[in-house]
Chain A
Amino acid sequence: MKPARAGWLFAAPALLAIAVFFVVPVAAALLMSATDFDIYGLASLRNVRFIGLENYLQLLQRPLFWRALFNTLFFVVVGVPLSIAVSLGTALLLHSRLARFKGFFRTALFSPVVTTLAAVAVVWVFLLHTRYGLLNYALSWIGLHPIDWLGNPHWAMPAIVLLSVWKNFGYNMIILLAGLQAIPGHLYEAAQLDGAGSGAMFRHVTVPSLAPMLVMVSVLTMAGHFQLFAEPYVMTQGGPAERTVTVLYLMYEDGFKWWSLGSASSVAFVLFAFMLGFSLLQTRLTRGVAAA
């Protein structure tokens, strides 16, 4: 048997699984996005009409789609840098020679990542409560008026960003902490001998050494942020005034709440196109950084 054929044979079970569980469903979804498959279609395929690109055209005319896209982009543009900054900050604090009880703090700061979102949401609803919330209580100390976090259309998404940053920063923190620990100590010693202060050391030693890791973390975080769904699902159900409806949430409602599987499939492909575009852009932008 030729080595190539043997290779294919060994790979065949995995390829078959991928074909059955991935390629076929994706192809079916693509086909479905060109139909008006819905609850009536479930009854009989005779009730399904082939409508070509109509789902996509309808989607572009739907104000809610643009609202959802805006909400998602807001979450990505604000949430990703904030989340990485908090992760990097806490990783630096944990890495500092001055820090005590490192093991305890590492576990404590990581714990939100492994707690259940549904349970966390209940606590956060009270933290963010307009009249009894701890957050507004803290704001009142510095003389600020209470904010209706989950009820005010302007504040609901920032509240979701806060929750998401708190819930997820621990994961990136651990990765970045590992990165920090891998930076050889002699680099800092050399910089110190050259007379660099702590700011200069951070800029010229820490950041360049961490760059490959920061790129990876930002790509993964962005991909995750585009798929925002669970936080609004448990906290606000898309409200107030549709300000926390995200693209994935829209797809869920279309597909699994209303069974408009045709139009939900088209939402999925549009989201896919956006994520692909952003990831390509990001790799192009960061190619220079990673190489440097």
Chain B
Amino acid sequence: MSRAPSDTALWSRRSLLQAAAGLCAAACARREDDGVLRFWAMGREGEVAAQLLGAFQRENPGLRVRVEQLPWSAAHEKLLTAFAGDATPDIAQMGNTWLPELVALEALEPLDARIRGSGQVDLGDYHPGVLDTNLVDGGQYGVPWYVDTRVLFYRRDLLARAGYAEPPRDWDEWTRMLFAIKQQVGPERYALLLPLNEYEPMVALWLQQGEPLLRDGGRFGNFRSPGFARTLQFYLSMFQRRLAPGISHNEVANLWNEFARGYFSFYISGPWQMGEFRRRLPPALQSAWMTAPLPGPTGPGASIAGGSSLAIFRRSGRKAAAWKLLEFLSRPQVQRQFYGLTGDLPARRSAWADPALAQDPHARAFRDQLERVRPVPKVPEWERIATELRLVVEKVVRGELPAGAAAAELDERADRILEKRRWMLDRRAQR
């Protein structure tokens, strides 16, 4: 490097000034307004969001949008630290189940009034179960962007070999099929995979019972209920009768290889798995796998309402512009384009008329299932309680805890986790 000394001095002075300006920018971020709308989107959605926005920019030439992309693994934490650091974006994508937590933080703007006055966001065009996940404490805090739920993925060829042409509609039929498959595949292979480190399948089956998963407005666990007892018994019977292996995802190592080998024939998963199955299963098996709605205790059953929503932050100084962007992203036309880019299932039912989606045989089960989805309890503590459910069920499957003690143990754990929430609710009631 042959930089003259005076040059270096100048440089260091300039970089000092820059550093000082940077510090101020960080410190005064809230007051400084560069007129840019900040939009946080996660993972693959974040990658394609910019492509969607071309038309929006043309319609609103005075408005600039900056898409800030977060990896899914860090997104939840980023939202919370942004709240703590007073650096929340104007509008963000977020998992439906995160909304209650951010509402508890009073970080989100209720959207009811804007939705009523909107010509574009028509709540009647959304799946009611998914919409419900955005309704927290009586306010609509988000608008669904794309949806997901859990359905059955199964091997049509193995089911046919066991003597069944159609997927199951209720638990009894399903159990008979599982037994028939198990007889065909022998002791080394299984009929169903219920990974011990996943709680979603069990929660979906419990939601089918039609009872609340928490009682007294989310104050206490509801594990000592008849519905949970039925669900637990059904779930455990899969392991006791050796229809499902007592293993977790770690031991499966490669899910798609095992599915191709016929290690299991049924698996409960979400829409992202459609693309994975197409990509990762050998071509010979592409016509052999299919999806089906979840069977219920007595006929087609419910499943979990999932997906991502768009929400506007309370501290945003550009709420009107953020709402404009939200309306744009909610248009059926844009939703179809979004489906084409990501494969995410559109939240608008009218967008499902898209030929690519309407003719996709694997998406049909999702379309049917989405009419029967229910939200998980809308309390910030739910994920932690569901994790305890997974841990306790794992202990029972491994024989470390008697099945009869599970419900009481779960209620005790849930009630302990919900102690703070009860205190908060009681205090609010006194005021």
- On A, residues with C-beta under 8 Å from B are 36, 38-40, 42-43, 47, 49, 125-126, 129-130, 132, 148, 150-151, 153, 235-237, 239-242, 256, 258-259
Contact = CB atoms under 8 A, between A and B. Distances in A.
A39 B101 contact: yes
B405 interface: no
Nearest to A256: B77
B394 interface: yes
Interface stretch (B146-154, B233-241, B245-253, B367-375): B245-253
Contacts of B391: 241-242
18 contacts: A39-B80, A39-B105, A40-B380, A42-B83, A47-B424, A125-B250, A126-B253, A129-B251, A129-B253, A148-B247, A153-B398, A153-B400, A235-B250, A237-B250, A239-B394, A240-B248, A241-B395, A256-B77
Interface string B83-114: 11000000000000000010011100000000
A40 B196 contact: no
A240 B394 contact: yes
A40 B103 CA distance: 10
Nearest to B394: A241
> Which bucket holds chain B's interface residue count?
20 to 34
Interface string B176-218: 0000000000000000000011000000000000000000000
B253 A39 contact: no
B251 A148 contact: yes
B429 to A, nearest CB: 15
B13 interface: no
A253 B140 CA distance: 30
Contacts of B423: 49
A110 B280 CA distance: 36
Contact of A239 (B84, B106, B196, B253): B196
B248 A241 contact: no
B161 interface: no
Contacts of A148: 247, 251
A47 B428 CA distance: 11
B104 A239 contact: no
B398 A240 contact: yes
B420 interface: yes
B80 A40 contact: no
Given A129-B253, A256-B77, A151 B424 contact: no
Given A43-B105, A239-B197, A239-B394, 18 more contacts: A38-B420, A40-B104, A40-B420, A40-B424, A42-B105, A43-B106, A47-B424, A125-B253, A126-B253, A130-B251, A150-B251, A153-B398, A153-B400, A237-B250, A239-B196, A241-B391, A241-B395, A256-B77
